[in-house]
Structure 1
Amino acid sequence: MSQQSIAFADGPLYFPVTAFGADGEVDLDRTTALIESSLEHGPGGVFPACGTGEFHALAPAEAIAVARATVQTVSGAVPVLPGVGGPVGGAVAAVRELEASGVDGVLLLPPYLVGATQEGLYRYVSAVAAASALPVIIYHRGTAAYSADTVARLLAEHENVVGFKDGIGDVARVHEIVLRASEVRPGVQFFNGLLTAEASQSAYHAAGVPLYSSAAFAMAPHVATAFYRAYRAADTASVERLLRGFYHPLVHLRDTTPGYAVSLIKAGLRLQGAEVGGVRAPLVDPSPEHLAELERILAAGHDLVGIA
């Protein structure tokens, strides 16, 4: 069996927001302008129209348009992996359409609404993986909770299933999956996909998961990059300083309101002058009190990394 992997650069994995105009429609120009400006901070890869990009609220054509515009903007600098998922028919149609767009792979989000058996999850991933040659990263979250045996079966049967991203937070189960996957195929890529993943990455690294999603990079790239460099250098003092001064306060604010993992990122961009619009329903934008707290957290983070 041939082996595939995504050639990420050495930087945080960037999950950009999707900008909306005053009319509530997707604003591709503003979306890609933000992505272009973020490239100077050295992301390891770009994941457009995923969780932070409000995949759940985008029409299929909107998600495809965001992915294509991102490919054109990034222009091969780093890998681009958009989100697909939801109804299996939509996910299959999306990967077929994206295959010709120049993306480097896809992040397969959970199926829509229904729970599933392990056999059902196997069939869901298999249908998407068989629909194109694009590398597929499985997202272990919500209605898609995979067992180690199911992951091993998918890796054995689909060479383009190349990665596994955890969004559940059961580190023991993830470690089991890492060990089981290594028995099937070397080189599988594992990602920490918990909300504000920097806060849990030390534990994930110990479980054999070296990569992580960074929604914070979309809002505070200087802080996210400083954290990544400290993490990579095993600079524990700097990691802990950033956790105490920026990430833990952000997590506490995030946990006050469902959906704030996305809403705060867009709000933080607006506080810094970016015209990205608000979030689409059913998410809500932060209250004035929470905006004031977010502004304090951003200021503290920038102070920690020497940004005025």
Structure 2
Amino acid sequence: MDFGRLITAMVTPFDAEGKIDWETTGRLIDYLIGEQQTDSIVVCGTTGESPTLDDEEKIALYKFAVERAAGRVPVIAGTGSNNTAHSIHLTKEAEAAGADGVLLVSPYYNKPSQEGLYQHFRAIAESTKLPVMLYNVPGRTGVNLNVDTTLRLAEIPNIVATKDCAPTEQLTAIAAGAPAHFKVYSGDDSQTLPALAVGAYGIVSVTSHIIGREMKQMINAYVEGRTAEAARLHQQLSPIFKGLFNCPHPVTNPVPVKYALNHLGIPVGGVRLPLVPLTEAEAAFVRNLLDNRE
């Protein structure tokens, strides 16, 4: 399964009561595939507010996204947690729902050893026929899935990719040592082009909700050898990459991107506690960022 080079980690639209807005979810999927040219979508990832979605909601989202995408792009289901048995349960549900792959975040809070990480991911991978993408995000989980453990996991046939938010040095080492079937994705929008330059295959993106088409142009320019054009596009897009995470100080994803989508006329609603909306100053920063794009 080739998930493509531009994967969007999709927000979960909520209505005024904080429940999943299914009509808007369908429109958002169509918009990401059509207008923003995403190659795949992730549902129930961090950007989808997975910590505050219950199992019933997650399984419903898996099914809905598969049905709405209707084969136009692959659907990757976020099924990871810090409980291996629970992750296996959700992975089986995603497979039954028709998902094309699963995204497994490193276990958070309980801070397992590297051997614990290996055994966790291996157990989930062995429970399913689906392709597995690892997800290393030390800033949220408190543990780094290191190079050696990632490469060890890459030898498991259905572990086919990693989304890694570690520094470029780690992406470089993984790309250099990985088997041919294993693809490296950056999890940091601002590092899309640098990551490609050191051997990554693509990006699992948040800002592709807003500038996916332009990101696709940048990726294609680099892959096709038009490096000066890719650099120019990166420079042009850099304020959006940075601004949607720093408004102008760090703000937790997906609060800014949800505000941005609402501002652009895609009514995805608010966020669930413990996340809170942008302050008026932060909102003004995002509006200015979007309204003054080149």
TM-score > 0.5 by shorter chain: yes
Distance 1:220 1:239, change over 3 A: closer
Match of 2:30 among 8, 23, 36: 36
8 A contact 1:227–1:242 mirrored in 2: no
Give 1:48 deviation, angstroms. 1.2
| Distance of 2:91 and 2:23 partners within structure 1 | 23
1:1-80 equivalences under 5 Å are 6-9=1-4, 12-41=6-35, 42-80=37-75
Given that 2:59 and 2:97 are in contact with CA atoms closer than 8 Å, whether structure 1 keeps it comes out as no
Residue 189 of structure 1 deviates from its aligned partner by 0.8
Q: Which of 196, 212, 221 is residue 205 of structure 1 equivalent to?
A: 196
Q: TM-score if structure 1 supplies the norm length?
A: 0.86
Q: Distance in 1 between matches of 2:152 and 2:2?
A: 24
Percent identical among aligned pairs is 27
Letter of the structure 2 residue corresponding to residue 299 of structure 1: D
Q: Deviation string for 1:162-182 (max 9, x for gaps)?
A: 1111112x221222222222x
Question: Does 2:121 align with 1:125?
Answer: yes
Partner of 1:159: 157
**Structure 2 residue matching 1:159: 3-state secondary structure:** coil
Question: Matched residues in 2 for 1:149 and 1:80: separation?
Answer: 28
Structure 2 residue 182 is matched with structure 1 residue 188: yes
CA distance in 1, matches of 2:220, 2:279: 33
SS of equivalent residue, structure 1 residue 191: strand
Kindly report the root-mean-square deviation, in angstroms, between the aligned alpha carbons of the 2 structures: 2.0
Letter in 1 for 2:250: T
Describe the superposition over 1:262-287 as per-residue Cα deviations: whole angstroms up to 9, x where unpaired.
Answer: 10111011112222221111211111
Cα distance between partner residues in 1 of 2:186 and 2:41? 15
Amino acid at match of 1:237: R
- Would you say the 8 A contact 2:8–2:209 is kept in 1? yes
The 2-side partners of 1:231 and 1:152 are apart by 26
Shift of 1:250: 3.6
Deviations 1:193-240 (A, max 9, x none): 12xx1x212321222113012211223445444544555443122321
In structure 2, the residue matched to 1:215 is 206
Task: Determine if contact 2:33/2:39 at 8 Å carries over to the other structure.
Answer: no
Distance 2:267 2:256 in 1: 14
- SS for the counterpart of 1:186 is coil
Question: What is the CA distance between 1:29 and its match in structure 2?
Answer: 2.2
How many Å separate the matches in 1 of 2:262 and 2:147? 41
Aligned: 1:104 with 2:96: no
Q: Which runs of 5+ in 2 are unaligned?
A: none
CA-CA distance at 1:104 after TM superposition: 0.9
- Judge conservation of contact 1:48–1:70 (CA < 8 Å) in 2: yes
Give distance in 2, aligned partners of 1:219 and 1:70.
20
Q: TM-score normalised to the size of structure 2? A: 0.89
Quick one: distance in 2 between partners of 1:288 and 1:188? 43
**Amino acid across the alignment from 1:76:** G
Q: 2:199 is paired with a residue of what secondary structure?
A: coil
